[in-house]
Amino acid sequence: MIQALLFDFDGLIIDTESAIIEAWKKAYELCQIEFPEDRFNAIVGHADVPFDPWADFKDRDDLPMPVANFKKHINQSVLKEVEAKPILPGILKTIETAKALKLPLGVASNSNHDWVDSHLKRLGLFDEFDAIRCRDDVKKPKPSPDVYLSLLDFFKLEGENALAFEDSYTGLTAAKRAGLNCVAIPGPSTLSGDFSCADLKIQSLEEEPLPSLLKKLTP
């Protein structure tokens, strides 16, 4: 029986991933540099992939502004793009239904608390969750199961009694390594991932009401 719901953040609650990629794409275009879309898509959901986009800019002498100002410009662009993104379809209804069913809620993110907490507060969702675990809470980020194991420990549950919602192969791998049930909900930047080990794959939480989802996952 499912006794807790655990949500990824980036790409699952809001599509920060597409927003970040779009902001960087505009930066590359501003500098007339070819945008390495494949490399950006490859790092979605990862915290340990060695790709630093600044390597494409740091040695150039034709930037449209001084390096410090350009970094600030990109950071502001990322924030602007992210803040323009809505909460993804079905998230609010799923939270509402979970509350009615008295199911505890958690967040398991590969981002740090500064990022996750600030956006959850901005969206009015921070207090909806009983526990939030981020990469700065554990030794190893996803695809290690550490963030999920930390939440299982908090809720005093076995993996089989919790359900994770993930949008990336990396997150799905972390959830399954922790023994969780996992519903995959790929986003625009993660569609090409391997979700074959997911218990269920859907397009959005709007497509599948929570009671129906739980019924499908209950033997």
pLDDT digits (tens, 9 = 90+) for 17-40: 888 888 888 888 888 888 887 777
Mean pLDDT of 53-76: 80
- What pairs with residue 83 in β-bridges? none
Catalytic residue among 8, 15, 146, 167: 8
- pTM value is 0.87
Please write the tens of the pLDDT for every residue from 143-156: 999 999 999 999 99
> In whole numbers, what is the pLDDT of the chain averaged over residues?
90
Residue entry with tokens 């960087």: 24
**Omega of the bond leading into 143 within 30 degrees of 0 (cis):** yes
Separation CA 170–CA 195 (nearest Å)? 10
- Spell out the residues 6+ positions from residue 58 whose beta carbon is closer than 8 angstroms to its own: 67
Catalytic residue among 10, 15, 146, 167: 10
- At residue 61, the pLDDT reads 79
Mean pLDDT of 170-187: 96
- At residue 49, the pLDDT reads 54
Q: How far lies 92's CA from each of 83, 86, 99, 170, 177, in Å?
A: 17, 11, 11, 24, 27
What is the three-class DSSP state of 4?
Answer: strand
- Active-site residue 8, yes or no? yes
Separation CA 39–CA 6 (nearest Å)? 28
Q: Are 169 and 10 in contact (CB under 8 A)?
A: no
pLDDT higher than 70, residue 44: no
Please write the tens of the pLDDT for every residue from 118-134: 999 999 999 999 999 99
- At residue 213, the pLDDT reads 94
